[in-house]
Structure 1
């Protein structure tokens, strides 16, 4: 298949259980919950997305005809002088599971990469992933109900934490919704974690400290 990629870049993970870990971000183009166009935001299932996933014109983006070609592009972003620390790629979007498949996962593993995915959970994840982070969105049906980390943007009136607390994840995170009410949402998330210690607070540290 041809993989449509918005951008590829090396940075530190800013959120959740892997916060602070160096990683190559592989952002696939496209999503099944929003077109990415502002004119469609109000009617979308997910109305609060803060990511540009339209097209293939970002840094390192493009259309890759084979899994090996895409892996080579990701590999080129990992520090060449590094001899320690396992290479790590985070497949994100948009919705990465519209494109991420077993041949690509296997190709990453063949080059020594650990493979993580950040998904809205509406599509079943292929076998072989090393880290699965699911972020449920509003009324979208949750198909991927197991994984490493459930990271819930808080507060969503149609996706409250108690709806997910019995699912089979290793970590449960609340991430305050960004925007005009960020201060109030952060305070609400802190209070919820205090009174429901199953949940941990996730902050977008890359925004707080200015990491691209």
Structure 2
């Protein structure tokens, strides 16, 4: 059984696939924060901007494997998206629930399967694309993949060391807080002079796309 906050179609607003049509499956729960505002100060991740509590989002609920696959197909086909079937498994922390059977089943149905993870849970699953977004107060275990996306700034991270990890692409994403504009310009300026870092902006927020 999968506990799902929401399933929706949109564009990928961040990182390498920014602008690409996708179906997003947001899994309930995270191992770095319980999602309650009153507990944020003591959480391992203190800047999350996502509601991953409960199952009350769009198409949220409790799903068996087959029911989840069929719901994803229905949403993809309803929206008349391209034949390039792209799915993003996200959260919360999706690796609390995602398993090999789900990923294999999605691939059999023709999906390119991407996962967005905080990297603290090791896995042996053949994703098509792995995006790791580490948090500075955590011990992360997934130190290789396709895309490393670091929310910037996080003072404890040595970006010169991180760029030596086994990832294909490296992104810095401005932290969305009360210093957002300063963070944006600091991100741009850092990336200008520090290869291989590229800026990643939350395109969906800028365009007010859910």
Match in the other structure for 1:38: 37
Q: 2:21–2:81: 8 Å Cα contact kept in structure 1?
A: no
Q: When the two structures are superposed, what TM-score results if normalisation uses the length of structure 2? A: 0.96
Q: 1:90 aligns with which of 84, 88, 91?
A: 88
Using the TM superposition, give the Cα deviation of residue 194 of structure 1 relative to its aligned residue in structure 2, in angstroms: 1.1
SS class of match (2:16): helix
Alignment RMSD (CA, Å) = 1.3
Aligned-residue offset at 1:73: 1.1
Q: Residue 69 of structure 2: which of 64, 68, 71 is its match?
A: 71
Tell me, yes or no, if the aligned pair for 1:101 and 1:126 is still in contact at 8 Å: no
1:50 aligns with 49
- Which residue, out of 143, 148, 151, partners 2:149? 151
Q: Is the 8 A contact 1:33 1:46 kept in 2?
A: yes
Take 2:160 and 2:136, find their aligned partners in 1: how far apart are those partners? Answer: 13
Q: Is residue 89 of structure 2 the alignment partner of residue 100 of structure 1?
A: no
Which residue number in structure 2 is paired with residue 16 of structure 1?
15
CA separation in 2, counterparts of 1:41 and 1:82? 39
Normalising by structure 1, what TM-score? 0.95
Extract unaligned runs of 5+ from structure 2: none
Cα distance per residue 1:100-149 (max 9 Å; x no partner): 00000011011111110000000113322000000001121110111110
CA offsets per residue over residues 57-94 of structure 1, 9 Å max, x none? 11111011x32211111111103474843211100000
How many residue pairs match? The answer is 210
8 Å CA contact 1:33–1:44 kept in 2: the answer is: yes
Name structure 1 gaps, 5 residues minimum. none
Asked if 2 retains the 8 angstrom alpha-carbon contact of 1:92 and 1:117, the reply is: yes
- 1:116 pairs, out of 109, 114, 117, with 114
CA distance, structure 2, for counterparts of residue 140 and residue 42 of structure 1: 15
Q: How does 1:152-191 map to 2 (within 5 A)?
A: 152-191=150-189
Which shows bigger deviation, 102-111 or 23-32?
Answer: 102-111
Q: Quote the Cα distance in structure 2 between the aligned partners of 1:62 and 1:164.
A: 37
The list of structure 1 runs, each at least 4 consecutive aligned residues, that deviate by more than 6 angstroms after superposition, is none
